[in-house]
Amino acid sequence: MGVPIAHLIPGGEPFSSPSPYHTIASARRSAFGRPSHLPPLQIRPAIEVKVGVSLRPAVSSVFRESGSMSQCYEFELQVAVKAVRLAARLCQRVQRRLLSNETQAKVDKSPVTVADYGSQALVSWALERTLPQGSFSLVAEEDADELRQEKGAWMLDRITDLVNETIATDGSHDIAPLTREDVLAAIDRGKSEGGSSGRHWVLDPIDGTLGFLRGDQYAVALGLLDEGEVVLGILACPNLPLTSISRESLPGDPVGCLFSARKGAGTTVQSLDGLTAAKRVYVSTVDNPAEAIFCESYESAHSMQELTAKIADILGVRAPSVRIDSQAKYGALARGDAAIYLRFPHPGYREKIWDHAAGSVVIKEAGGIVVDGAGKPLDFSKGRFLDLDHGIIATNQNLMPFLLKAVHSALKESNL
């Protein structure tokens, strides 16, 4: 019997190595500065750009030629963190005052909120205006088709208001308010197909929509693909407590976690508001399956929970499963709160890349492994969908051999 949980913890080290994007960061500081309560970013100049010369292409080419892995994707990480924090503020505001008419059904009958659209609009807008010109490609969950219809006019007005309120409250963007067309365009930038060539940002504006509507766990999940590989991931988990799921959360416990990972630099966690320093985190070192804690989807419609129960039984896991909405599960594993994540969607379902891109790199950079049910690495280079062999599993290196054997046995017994 699974135990639903609506909360989780952090840890990590701040990034402070120099960025070759100093010139862009300086030139655009007024348009995308840090909140006043945060310390200034420690970014040192790497190149000089003459006045009147286009900044974006020059910086992009220099970055590609930069040397050490410790500096790779640092600028992108800083930009992504700011964008995701901005979106998370909008989501928190909406969830606090959630109204019944702020939810509408999409064509596929899954709920979508104004926060979904608003979050995507903010992340898209923030990234596009800060990254090198011509380099921005976004693969995201939502599109603005329904908002362009007459019945979506009221919702579009509401989204536009929320986006502008969030930007104004942030206080670091001296710009004119966005128009309805600006918001529609920002949302529709997410229509990229991704692929194996170039860079593509991958966004789930609210991962765990049902959890969001219940007032439980959700995440704003943003990843970056470079030549088909996930090289960066951010998970903003506004309702995730700063204490481990291995202990019961108490009233008044602080909540709100931000997980950050970039290739070769590890995974960190800090408070979502940025008031606590980031700390490195690592996956659990448990090597006895019987002692492992495992996570799975909160909703039975999202995963075959009878199958995951069978896998746990084969492994001899003693503790009940911990059921959590969204990619917050990846964050829980990354900081060692749990040791195993099992996801086996019902037959016919195709996984989307935005549901796993950010979370997978957060696990990987924390020392863990994320593969499909056959033990193959997840391939994010094929477009908007993941082609998998029976589900997704994540754990540490010690447990993976046991887990793959148990998965194989359970699938065979279930004729899958």
- Among residues of the chain, what percentage have pLDDT more than 70? 78
Encode pLDDT of 107-143 as tens digits. 654 567 899 999 999 999 999 999 988 889 999 999 9
Give the pLDDT confidence score for residue 15 in this predicted structure.
Answer: 32
Q: Is the pLDDT confidence value at 37 over 60?
A: no
What 3-state class would DSSP assign to 371?
strand
- C-alpha torsion sign, points 42, 231, 27, 39: negative
d(CA 79, CA 378): 26
Distance between CA atoms of residues 340 and 413, nearest Å: 21
- pLDDT reported for residue 387: 87
pLDDT of 208 higher than 80: yes
* Contact call for residues 264 and 361 (beta carbons, < 8 A): no
Average pLDDT, the chain: 82
Tell me whether residue 209 is one of the annotated catalytic residues: yes
The single residue of 23, 160, 166, 209 carrying the catalytic annotation is 209
Q: 92: buried, middle or exposed (CB in 10 Å: 19+, 13-18, 0-12)?
A: middle
Higher pLDDT, 247 or 363: 363
DSSP 344-363: -PPTT--EEGGGTHHHHHHH
- In 314-414, at which residue ranges do the beta strands (DSSP E only) sit? 322-324, 340-343, 351-352, 369-372, 385-386, 392-395
Burial tier of 82 (Cβ tally within 10 Å: 0-12, 13-18, 19+): buried
Q: Pull the structure tokens for residue 8.
A: 């989780």
CB 414 within 8 A of CB 307: yes
Take residue 192 and report the two structure tokens written for it.
């990229």
Residue 381: what residue type? S
Nearest alpha carbon to residue 267 among 12, 82, 68, 10: 12
Percent of the chain surpassing pLDDT 90: 63
Per-residue pLDDT of 71-116, as tens digits, reads 789 999 999 999 999 999 999 999 887 755 667 766 654 567 899 9
- Strands 294-297 and 322-324 turn out to be parallel
Compute the distance between CA of residue 83 and CA of residue 123 in angstroms, rounded to an integer. 5
pLDDT above 80 for 345: yes
pLDDT tens digits for range 214-270: 888 999 999 999 999 999 999 999 999 898 876 777 777 889 999 999 999 999 999
Active site residue 276: no
**H or E element at residue 205:** strand 199-207
Choose, from 113, 116, 170, 395, the residue flagged as catalytic.
Answer: 116
Range scoring the smallest mean pLDDT among 109-123, 179-193, 227-241, 342-356: 109-123
Rg (C-alpha) for the chain, rounded Å, is 21
C-alpha closest to that of 245 among 336, 365, 136: 336
Beta strands in 12-151 (DSSP E): 103-105, 111-113, 138-140
- pLDDT recorded at residue 302: 59
Q: Which residue has the tokens 């640092």?
A: 74
pLDDT at 390 over 60: yes
Residue 391: pLDDT over 90: yes
Q: Is the pLDDT of residue 16 over 50?
A: no
Laid out side by side, the sheet with 369-372 consists of: 3-4, 322-324, 294-297, 340-343, 392-395, 369-372
Contact 142/169 with Cβ under 8 angstroms? no
Q: What's the predicted TM-score (pTM) here?
A: 0.82
The answer to whether 237 and 272 have CB atoms below 8 angstroms apart is yes
